[in-house]
């Protein structure tokens, strides 16, 4: 069986500098290689313009340049696009491209790419289709970065925002996720500013604390979805390990260290987490640091799992009313639309549904 070469995009600039030192090459070659890959977007080592042929040959013997192959693309009626990438190392992963337009003149205002960090997920949140797949493996750094590069190549457009909200829990693939952020935000690669990257987590408390120590921190989004441990235990088994009180302390620490406001994601379920008491508790929780709350509809996942009968989606009027109640009590609350719902690309729906 043929051994798959390592992908060069698993190497940060510092990694490439170490490799050049090991190969007895000048240190500046690492910068040139990095620039060729990311700034010039070369698709082949043979296309490198400034690297000597002998070094190109050596790189080609050790590495491949792409970790994914051409995706299967599905387009929603609302403009959302879902990409199913086949990975060179095996398995597949999904990404979702969400355009946002200016309401006044229909100009493209923002192009957000929701990327994945794992194939499947181990956390088994009740409302999430990805968790029903279980965890298959972590994505490599290259497989994370290549989602962004391939979507930009496919669309010919520059991604303005990257959110780690696709398949998997980013903080359970911490090292590869952080290295991918390092590559994406490097000044030489010039792919995206760190202020336009958001890491979403269900609440892996030790890793939130670790993420706060990054010298170049990014935005944090927390999937909350409940205001009591009893309800959150039922929705999100991770809460049994790190409960709401521990999570709040970690979030407060993150803000103290980074001074970056936090985003909370809150799926509204009818008769479960939508009471007046929930409103009061939620406002008290989120106002411990500067923040905003995104109220999200519950999206159907019966295409992969029909065993959840106690979760009922609140309708749009109930969602809007809940958001108003939050705002009336001083919270910064927004209602989020179900982008890509008709192609199973909305929040919680990523589970390779194209197979069906």
Tokens of 147: 């989602």
Catalytic residue among 94, 152, 169, 265: 94
Q: Residue 273: how many CB atoms within 10 A of its CB? A: 24
Residue 94 catalytic?
A: yes
* 76/55 Cα distance (integer angstroms): 45
* 167/121 Cα distance (integer angstroms): 7
* 87/93 Cα distance (integer angstroms): 7
* 327/293 Cα distance (integer angstroms): 10
Helix axes 276-286, 316-328, angle to 10 degrees: 50
From the list 259, 271, 326, 275, the residue with the least C-alpha distance to 298 is: 271
Residue 125 catalytic?
A: no
B/e letters for 215-239, b = 16+ CB within 10 Å, e = fewer, are: eebbbbbbbbbbbeeebbeebbbbb
Residue 339 CB partners (closer than 8 Å, separation 6+):
76, 78, 80, 96, 98, 345, 346
CA angle 189, 84, 238 (to 5 degrees): 85
Do 81 and 97 contact (CB within 8 A), yes or no? Answer: yes
Residue 252 CB partners (closer than 8 Å, separation 6+):
288, 289
Residue with tokens 């749009």: 316
Do 152 and 162 contact (CB within 8 A), yes or no? Answer: no
Classify 328 as helix, strand or coil.
helix
Classify 356 as helix, strand or coil.
coil
Residue numbers annotated as active site? 94, 347
């Amino acid at each position: 069986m043929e051994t798959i070469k390592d992908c060069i995009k698993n190497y940060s600039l510092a990694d490439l500098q170490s490799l050049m030192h090991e190969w007895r090459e000048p240190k500046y070659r690492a910068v040139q290689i990095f620039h060729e890959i990311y700034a010039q977007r070369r698709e082949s080592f043979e296309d490198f313009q400034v690297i000597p042929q002998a070094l190109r040959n050596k790189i080609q013997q050790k590495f491949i340049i792409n970790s994914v192959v051409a995706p299967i693309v599905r387009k929603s009626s609302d403009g959302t696009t879902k990409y199913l990438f086949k990975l060179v190392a095996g398995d597949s992963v999904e990404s979702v491209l969400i355009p946002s337009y200016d309401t006044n003149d229909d100009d493209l205002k923002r192009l957000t790419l929701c990327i994945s960090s794992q194939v499947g997920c181990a956390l088994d949140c009740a409302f999430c289709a990805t968790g029903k797949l279980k965890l298959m493996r972590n994505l490599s750094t290259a497989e994370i970065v290549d989602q962004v590069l391939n979507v930009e190549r496919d669309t010919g457009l520059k991604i303005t925002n990257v959110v780690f909200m696709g398949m998997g829990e980013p903080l359970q693939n911490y090292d590869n996720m952080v290295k991918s952020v390092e590559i994406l935000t490097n000044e030489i690669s010039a792919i995206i500013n760190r202020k336009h990257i958001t890491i979403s987590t269900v609440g892996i408390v030790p890793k939130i604390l670790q993420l706060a120590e990054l010298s170049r921190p990014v935005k944090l989004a927390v999937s909350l979805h409940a205001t009591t441990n009893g309800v959150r235990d039922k929705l999100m088994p991770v809460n049994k390990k790190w409960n709401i009180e521990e999570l709040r302390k970690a979030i407060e620490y993150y803000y103290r260290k980074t001074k970056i406001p936090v985003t909370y994601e809150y799926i509204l379920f009818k008769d479960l987490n939508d009471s007046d008491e929930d409103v009061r508790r939620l406002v008290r929780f989120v106002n411990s640091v500067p923040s905003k709350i995104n109220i999200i509809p519950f999206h159907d996942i019966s295409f992969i799992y029909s065993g959840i009968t106690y979760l009922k989606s609140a309708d749009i009027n109930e969602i809007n009313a809940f958001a108003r109640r939050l705002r009336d009590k001083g919270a910064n609350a927004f209602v989020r639309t179900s982008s890509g719902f008709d192609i199973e690309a909305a929040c919680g729906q990523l589970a390779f549904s194209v197979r069906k």
